[in-house]
Amino acid sequence: MSFQKTLQGPVVFEGRGLHTGQPVKAVVKPAAVNTGIHFCRIDLDPEFKAKASIKNVQSDEMRQTALRVGTGVVRTIEHVMGALHGLGIDNAEIEVDGDEMPAMDGSAKDFTESFLSRGLREQESPRRYLEIKEPLYVDSGNQSVIALPAPFFSISYTLSYRHEDLKDQFLSLRILPEIFERELAPARTFCLKQEAEALLAQGFGKGANLTNTLVFEKNAPLENTLRFENEACRHKMMDLLGDLYLAGRPIRGHIIAVRSGHALNVEMVKKIIAACKEDPMASLPSKLTVQDIQKIIPHRYPFLFVDRIDHFVPGECATGFKLVSMNDYFFQGHFPGHPVMPGVLIIEAMAQVGGVIMLSKPENRNKIAYFMSIDSAKFRHPVVPGDELRFEIKVQKIRAKTGQCAGQAFVGDKLVCEAEVKFAVVEP
C-alpha cells in the first residue's frame, strides 16, 4: 500500500528569480494529510495563499507556470512542483517572500537533494491517484500531449525545435523517486541563443545566466557542459512532471508529449481532471463503514463478516476488521463449550474484503465476485470470542472478468490464517 508523504521538517531555499532577477527566500514546510501543495506569499498583507491547482494557474505567463489568486501571484513553480511530484510528496506548504520561486541552478536538483536530506515522513492516509481510463489528447498544431491507460506512471517526450542549434531528442522513463532523482532532477532549463536575446528584450530572464540556463548554439551550450547528452529533453520532462501535479493528485498512466510546453501541459491537466471527475473511485473514502461495505458487496447478516475497512485503496488493497463475539450465530453449533471460529469463515471474511477491493473498480460496480479457487490456505492459530480479526488483503492480478488476491488474517500481531483466493466477476 502506498501512503501519502510529507517532509520531516522545513527546508529553506534562497536565490534569485529566473525571470524577475529579484532575491527571494522560500521555505518548504510539512503539511497535514489530504491538504495537497499550497504556496503562501508571506510578504503580502494580507498573506496570499493558493493551492497548487489548475484552477489557480495564471494562463498568460510566458515560458513558466504561475499561480494567481486575486492580485497575488507566485511564478516559476514548475521546478519545485516537479521535485514534489517526482519524489511522491503529497502534502507541503511553501512560504515565499517574493513573486517568483528561486531559480537555484536552473533544475530541480537542489530541491530534490534538500528534500531527501531533510527526510520524508509517511502519513496515515493512502495516496489517491488520478487513473487514466481512456486515451486523452490535446494538440496545438505541431505540439501534442497524449495520456494513455497504463498500470504505472511514465512519460515519453520528443523534443524537436527543428533548428540547427539544438538537435532532436527523445526519452521515455517510468517515474519513480529514485529514477526522478537520478535522471530528471539535475536537468537544467535551456533556450536557444536567439531566444535568450528575445526574452531579455521583453524583460524576461533577468535572473538567468550561463550557469543556471543552458543557452544552445550549434548544438552545444555556451560556456557550459551538459550533464546529459539529452539534457534539454530531460528538463522538458521535469517541467511536464511539475505541471501535471496541478491536477492535485499523482497520475497513473502513460503521458506521451511531442514538443509540448507549459500551456499545452496545463490543457492536458484540464482534460485529465474532466475525465476523472465522474470516476466512482474518486468518491470512495479511505475508510469504509459497514454501510459503505454493503453498497459494494451483496452480503448481509448473518453472512457479512466484515465490520469496517481501513486503508482502502480501490482496486489495490485494504485492511478489514471483524470483532468476533460469542453472540455470532456459528458458535451455537461449532464446538459447543469450546467456541472456535470456523476456518472456512475466516477465509470467507478475507474473501469479502477482497471482494470489496475488486468490486470497487468502476467497471465492476453492481457486479458479484464468485470464488474460483482457494490456494495455499493455512490455519495457524484458533480464533475465539473476544478476538478482533485484522485482514490484510492485496490484489495480485486483476483482469476484466477475474481477479486474484493474497490475504493474511491477524489477531494482534499473531498471524492466524493466510490464503490466496481467485474470483470470477460476473453480472448478477
Q: Which of 38, 254, 262, 299 is catalytic?
A: 262
38 catalytic residue (yes or no):
no
Q: To 5 degrees, how large is the angle CA 366–CA 287–CA 359?
A: 20
Q: Which of 19, 334, 338, 381 is catalytic?
A: 334
262 catalytic residue (yes or no):
yes
- b/e code 78-99 from CB counts within 10 Å (16+ = b): bbbbbbbbbbbbbbbbbbbbbb
Angle between helices 262-276 and 231-244 in degrees, nearest 10: 40
- Give me the active site residues, please: 262, 334
